[in-house]
């Protein structure tokens, strides 16, 4: 299994025993969600924006309007950093000090470019939508010329990345084990409920199989 080389940029400092630089593991964490947080600097202000993304190999795609401040800023800068976090559980210890959470997180660092090629741009939009609900692109009206031209797509090449994962129980001081205080983990997961059809749908329009499959897998 391939790994990202550890550098000053991607090295996990705090809690380094939970660090993971394996490419496959990092990609799996990225593929388990479709929302990331993107950091950038605008007029000397640090700003973090949540946005949808799609991954194709070692490339992350993000889209927005032609005047999207975040994307235009990053294209000028030439590099970007995005982060993804899954909350998997609340770790409730006997002491306040040892309360924690179980999680899977990834930081990606890469070079950016504007997607100019029309074929790649359309495939990028497909990638982002299918990253949200796999296979749903074929169920929808795809962008027309006006919508396509009004959309800005940025590609982030994953030059390096790192993951940090906590998946364990309570870590308390030994002297606290005898205290009459409950300790344990509350598992947390994101689930999908049954789809609610739009009120204006025609009677013959059924819920697509891709949507039903997504709900089943997320229930």
Work out the pLDDT band at 83, boundaries 50, 70, 90: very high
Cα distances (Å, whole numbers) of residue 103 to 4, 87, 173: 21, 5, 22
3-state helix, strand and coil shares in percent for the chain, rounded to the nearest 5: 30, 35, 35
Q: Give how far the C-alpha of residue 165 lies from the chain's centroid of Cα atoms, to the nearest Å.
A: 14
**DSSP 8-state symbol, 159:** E
Which domain, by its residues, includes 123? 16-188
What pTM was computed for the model? 0.92
Percent of the chain topping pLDDT 90: 97
Q: Would residue 5 count as lying in a domain?
A: no
Tens of pLDDT, residues 179-207: 999 999 999 999 999 999 999 999 899 99
Provide the CATH number for the domain around residue 160.
2.30.110.10
Give how many domains the chain has, as a whole number: 2
Residue whose pair of structure tokens reads 């990331």 in the numeric block? 36
Tens of pLDDT, residues 7-53: 999 999 998 999 999 999 999 999 999 999 999 999 999 999 999 99
Q: Would residue 3 count as lying in a domain?
A: no
């Amino acid at each position: 299994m391939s790994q990202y080389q550890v550098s000053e940029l991607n090295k996990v400092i705090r809690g380094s025993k939970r660090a993971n630089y394996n490419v496959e593991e990092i990609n799996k964490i990225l593929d388990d969600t479709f929302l990331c947080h993107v950091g950038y600097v605008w007029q000397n202000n640090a700003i973090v924006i949540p946005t949808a993304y799609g991954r194709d190999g070692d490339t992350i795609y993000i889209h927005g309007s032609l005047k999207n401040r975040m994307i235009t800023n990053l294209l000028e800068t030439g590099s970007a950093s995005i982060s993804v976090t899954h909350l998997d559980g609340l770790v409730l210890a006997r002491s306040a000090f040892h309360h924690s959470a179980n999680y899977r997180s990834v930081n990606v660092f890469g070079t950016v470019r504007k997607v100019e090629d029309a074929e790649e741009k359309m495939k990028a939009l497909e990638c982002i939508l299918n990253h949200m609900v796999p296979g749903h692109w074929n169920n929808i009206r795809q962008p027309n010329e006006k919508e396509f031209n009004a959309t800005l797509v940025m590609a982030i090449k994953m030059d390096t990345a790192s993951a940090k994962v906590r998946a364990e129980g309570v870590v308390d001081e030994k002297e606290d084990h005898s205290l009459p205080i409950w300790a344990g983990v509350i598992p947390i997961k994101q689930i999908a409920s049954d789809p609610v059809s739009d009120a204006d749908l025609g009677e013959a329009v059924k819920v697509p199989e891709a949507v039903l499959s997504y709900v089943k897998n997320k229930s």
